[in-house]
Amino acid sequence: MVIGPGLRKGSVVVPPSKSHEHRVLIANFLAGKRDHLSVKASDNDDIKATKRCLSALTSDSAQVVLPCGESGSTLRFLSPVSAALGKVAVFQKEGRLSSRPNKEYHNLKPGIFSLEGNVSSQFVTGLLFALPLLDGDSEIAFLSPLQSAGYVDMTLGVLAKAGIVVEKTKQGFRVKGRQKYGFQETTIEGDSSAAAFWYAANALGNDISVSGVSESTCQPDKVARELMAENPAQIDVSECPDIFPPLSIVAAGRGKTTRFTGIGRLRLKESDRVEAMRHVLETFGVKTALDEKSFTVFGTDGKFKGGKFRSYSDHRIAMSIAIGATRAEGAVWLDNASCAAKSYPSFFAEFMRMDFVDDANSKLVSLSLGSNLNDRETYLESAIERLAALEQTFLVGASSVIETEPVDVPEKYSSLKFLNQAVLLRSNLAPIELLKRIHAIEAKLGRVRLEKNAPRTIDIDIISYDSVKCDTEELVLPHPRAHERDFVAGPLKELGVRLK
């Protein structure tokens, strides 16, 4: 994906908190409610994993396969729960999940459970859900101070609504066995972790209205708004590791030095987020320093560099790069935007729909690019760079690149596969004038129109120009057949454009 530079303005409603939804789903399930497990298109990947695993646990079989995907929450919550239900669970793990801290239970009995409190509060939550199901009383004892305690408080709140009694002790918790879940459907809170990216955007000069945030939440990441507004010289992220990536982007854009402490658990996430953000910030042209206990960002008042960025297949790194792109002086090329679906599936579509702060009257234009001759990737990149350089025009973004079979080409060219990509622009050029500029770009990149549907170095079609409709010999808007062509509709959908 390509992200055009420039400050944005718009409004967003944050998605449901996946932390809260995991807990509500499990409590409902243990109360016998099974009608809430169907996977929805709007679900993030982690919630899909929990729903699929809970559905698998409805099986009468003693052995079940639980497809956890990359969701550490799903695995850590359901390992003790499945054992308490008498299931022998086989956990399917993807990505880095196998190498992240995990604890699997295959024979759960009442007793004392000793846990380190500084690895993940999710281990505590899993036991708090499972222990009330056992036939005797149990205790959880912490061997070190509990971090991210707000998430455990969220669990206790959900359990209380389900009628489950948990007693706090000096060392941890005491949980009576033989309890019954009696949970009622609960509204899911807005996600403070998701809101953090938009707060970060505003701290960098964007103008984005954020709604749907739960003011009374236990989510530790609720501190994001305050921290990004104040930007203190030192920030301890041990209680809120998930907002470290956007916090470090904000630190990079402020002209002072910020030191992050409590970074130990950041190395155990979907990526080593300390190393990942060090590389991201340095690609943006921002200096950093790293030692065993801290990560220091030497912020700048100027713009960031553009260029090619690696997301490390980490949703929070990818979204942070997008926010940083708004302060960049050139386009940002992101290797994997799809990983954002782990927590915020609509993030990039919402981002692409926003206006530019310095541009109030331009029209949104969608384009489809294709190349099936010579160095196809280079031609696509060159076309995007030239489109971004057009006067009275802003590059909003470009989709990832897909390879497709040729359509409606002469047989002699049928083996030449296309690389296809969608592009969004905002432009003040009239449609016909924009078309002329596009044809000029095609010509400069070696496009020759001697034979219909012959191979081409680059092909750029205008698919839509805001709500404009026209039907002339030169241009038909919107494109009459675009919705029938997957190589057009698919990339545009990635950018939040759905064709009718």
Indicate the residue type of 121: S
Residues marked as catalytic:
242
Distance CA 339, CA 45 (A): 9
Token representation of residue 159:
């359990």
Q: How far apart are CA 459 and CA 108, in angstroms?
A: 62
Which of the 8 DSSP states describes residue 452? T
Beta-carbon contacts of residue 39 (< 8 Å; ≥ 6 apart): 48, 51, 52
86 exposed, middle or buried (CB, 10 Å; 0-12, 13-18, 19+)?
exposed
For residue 180, the number of C-alpha atoms closer than 13 Å in the C-beta half-sphere is 2
> Is residue 420 exposed (0-12), middle (13-18) or buried (19+ Cβ within 10 Å)?
buried
How big is the chain, counted in residues? Answer: 500
**Whole-number Å distance between alpha carbons of 461 and 467:** 16
Rounded Cα distance between 460 and 238, Å, is 48
Q: Where are the alpha helices (DSSP H) in 85-221?
A: 121-130, 149-161, 192-203
